Amino acid sequence: MADGRIADSMNVLAASVLAAALSTGAIDSWVKANRQAVLDELTALLSIPNVASDTANIERNAELLQKMLQLRGAKTSLLRVEGAPPAVFGEITTPGATRTLVFYAHYDGQPVVASDWATDPWKPVIRDDHIYARSASDDKGPIVAMLAAIDALRASRIPLKSNLKFFLEGEEEAGSPHLRQILEKHAALLDGDLWIFGDGPVHQSRRMQVYYGVRGVTGMELTIYGPSRALHSGHYGNWAPNPAALLANALASMRDSDGRILIAGFDDDVRPLTEREKGAIAAVPAVDEDLRRELALGGSEAGNAPIAERINRPAMNIRGIRAGAVGSQASNAIPTSATASVDFRLVPGQTPARVREKVERHLRSLGYHLTSSEPTVEERRSHPRVARLQWDEGYPAARTSMDLPIARSAVAAIGGDIIELPTLGGSLPIYIFEEVLHAPLIGVPIVNHDNSQHAANENLRLQNLWDGIRVYAALLAGME
């Protein structure tokens, strides 16, 4: 207790020093003087391809991240389980600190369709004050910002106030299939008082935000079968079932044009929002009109309902459809199969297993015989409608209480006019951290919302990088 009191008064002192330093712009000055060094480090990291299945390059990413952590004096190790990309662990012990923050980000990225990119996804380029590369925002940018925050504090002689651990995952974009196993195996090492998630974007108004939860996600690939060989659409058109038409009808029966999910009972498991959560959502600034303008949209779903409200509901998204051919490649033929890739965004109360159950019941109600692998000729012959479903593992949503003292302390340290979101639209495997480590968790994202994450031409707005360094510095040195 006595030690605690001394530490407390030291903390108050440190906090005053920090407040002064930040207010006089020490961190900003450091950033201004060190931009090129920060960009060089980010560029080196972005230059290594990072799709989770690309083992050789994933290992190169992990190797470089370890070196980057070691440069800041962190003790590092690679947390490995069989058949998974390693998680990169790092630990910086702060003398006198009584609290441990654990910083989470992932270093793997979504697959790319290189032909859709203006430049090579793994040859970062700076254009119009943005840096373009896969994972520039999601999540390599935040990792570099956190390390730069440490450099900036040290250069400004502002002491860190918490112990700091890093947990950098290597397969988040592949659905984190080994995350639970890694956390369970290394639970002691990963012990901490608050997890800080660097993943996700700031608010569309460009104001900083913290989030207390995320939507869960599950996905499926739905393939509907037609004739075993492509047929002339004249000789067989409106006799042979057309799988593209069947798929369009199946998808339309699951989700209407306005985003409403029509699958029976889909919303039954949804846990209602608390009054405090509803209040936070209502306080989120309306950016819808600007967003629609920016995205060349004449309207958004559900009669232009606010985005903050919409992302607190479940969603069904069609990622892609492939059937036959279009354009100059199109021929007058009935295709043999049609495939849709779909993801579902889940809110607290829903689970991937229950979603799967409801989707399968729905498809069966349309007359589909369902298989999980390529159906045999005999299966196709003996059922008028045959569909193959391949499910991602997926994971449920999670939502931390908005009232936790340590969370409120973090929000206070960041300062400014922060938006608080009960649930971020995107998905992270937060539920596993809750289940395995029982640690509270908040998200402190720094990257721009318009970063084309998961798509072609992903980018990070440089101003967000500079601001992010200041935000993370405030967390490391300013929390009461």
Residues 347-386, interacting with a copy of itself (CB under 8 A): 366, 369, 377, 380-386
- Asked whether position 28 contacts a copy of itself by CB under 8 A, the answer is no
User: Which of 4, 298 has the CB closer to a copy of itself?
Assistant: 298
According to CB under 8 A, which one of 232, 271, 364, 408 is a site residue for a copy of itself? 232
The secondary structure of 217-250 as a DSSP string is EEEEEEEEE--SS-EEHHHHTTTS--HHHHHHHH
User: Tokens 């009669």 belong to which residue?
Assistant: 303
Establish if 262 lies at the interface with a copy of itself (CB under 8 A). Answer: no
Buried b (16+ CB within 10 A) or exposed e, 437-466: bebbbbbbbbbbbbbbbbeebbbbbbebbb
- Between residues 153 and 424, which has the closer beta carbon with respect to a copy of itself? 424
Answer for which of 201, 352, 396, 468 binds a copy of itself (CB under 8 A) is 201
70 near a copy of itself (CB under 8 A): no
Nearer to a copy of itself, 66 or 350 (CB): 350
Q: How far is the CB of 174 from a copy of itself (least distance, A)?
A: 10
- With contacts defined by CB under 8 A, name the span among 6-14, 185-193, 253-261, 401-409 that binds a copy of itself: 253-261
Paired strand residues for 159: none
Binding mask 123-162 for a copy of itself (x = CB under 8 A): ----------------------------------------
C-beta of residue 336 within 8 angstroms of C-beta of residue 230: yes
Considering the complex, state which of residue 63 and residue 343 has its C-beta at the smaller distance from a copy of itself. Answer: 343
Which CB, 1 or 239, lies closer to a copy of itself? 239
CB of 221 to a copy of itself, least distance (A): 6
Listed residue (468, 452, 465) closest to 110, CA to CA: 452
The CA distances from residue 442 to 172, 229, 282, in Å, are: 17, 53, 20
Place of tokens 């990309």: 85
Query: Which residues, including other chains, have CB under 8 Å from residue 161's CB and lie 6 or more apart?
Result: 11, 14, 15, 18, 94, 97, 99, 476, 477, 478, 479
**According to CB under 8 A, which one of 321, 389, 406, 439 is a site residue for a copy of itself?**
321
Interatomic CA distance for residues 181 and 176, integer angstroms: 10
Residues 233-252 that bind a copy of itself (CB under 8 A): 233-242, 244-252
Q: Retrieve residue 436's tokens.
A: 């395995």
CB of 177 to a copy of itself, least distance (A): 15
Residue span binding a copy of itself (CB under 8 A) among the ranges 18-26, 61-69, 142-150, 315-323: 315-323
422 binds a copy of itself (CB under 8 A): no
Residues counted in the chain: 480
Identity (one letter) of the amino acid at 109?
G
